[in-house]
Amino acid sequence: MIRNRGVSDAMTPRHTAAEQAAQQAAQAPALTVDALGKKCPIPIIMLAEQINHVPLNAVVSVLADDPAAFTDIPAWCRLKSHHHVGSYELPQGGWAIHVRRNY
């Protein structure tokens, strides 16, 4: 299963070179939430539940393929004052959307 491979192998960055470099320097996700096949708002409900299970400043990676999640998870971060680190395309479709717990 591709999903079980190392996260960086499975991801194609869709942001600038500077962001890619920053991403590579950043820590690996402390937790992966598999919301593939789930429709919004379920991926966000899962993220909201799980984010408190990682330490402060740790990263949660949400795997999602509902197009709404691509917009809604960064919007959730803005509303909830967490940090959207970046969104990375998965080879099988969908994204790994990285969120850093701020509080």
Partner 1 sequence: MAYFDAASTEPLHPRAREALTAALDAGWADPARLYGPARRARMLLEQARAEVAEVLGCRPDEVSFTTSGTQAVHLGVLGVLRGRRRAGRRLVVSAVEHSSVLHSGEVHEREGGTVETVGVGLTGVVDLAAFGEAVRAEGTALACLQSANHEVGTLQPVAEAAALCAGAGVPLLVDAAQTVGRMPASPGWSVLTASAHKWGGPAGVGVLAVRKGVRWRGPLPQDERENRVPGFENVPAIVAAAAALRAAAAEAEQEGARLSALVDRIRAEVPRLVPDVEVIGEPVARAPHIVTFSCLYVEGEALLMELDKAGFAVSSGSSCTASTLRPSHVLEAMGVLTHGNVRVSLPRGASGADVDRFLSVLPDAVRRIREEAGVKS
Contact 1/10 with Cβ under 8 angstroms? no
User: Is 101 in a helix, a strand, or coil?
Assistant: coil
Beta-carbon count within 10 A of 72 CB? 19
List binders of partner 1 among 16-75 (CB under 8 A).
39-42, 44-45, 48-49, 66-68, 71-72, 74-75
12 forms part of the interface with partner 1 (CB under 8 A): no
Residue 76 or 88: which CB sits closer to partner 1? Answer: 76
Residue 67 or 91: which CB sits closer to partner 1? Answer: 67
9 DSSP 8-state letter:
T
Active-site positions? 40
Contact 87/60 with Cβ under 8 angstroms? no
Give me the residues that bind partner 1 (CB under 8 A), please. Answer: 39-42, 44-45, 48-49, 66-68, 71-72, 74-76, 78-79
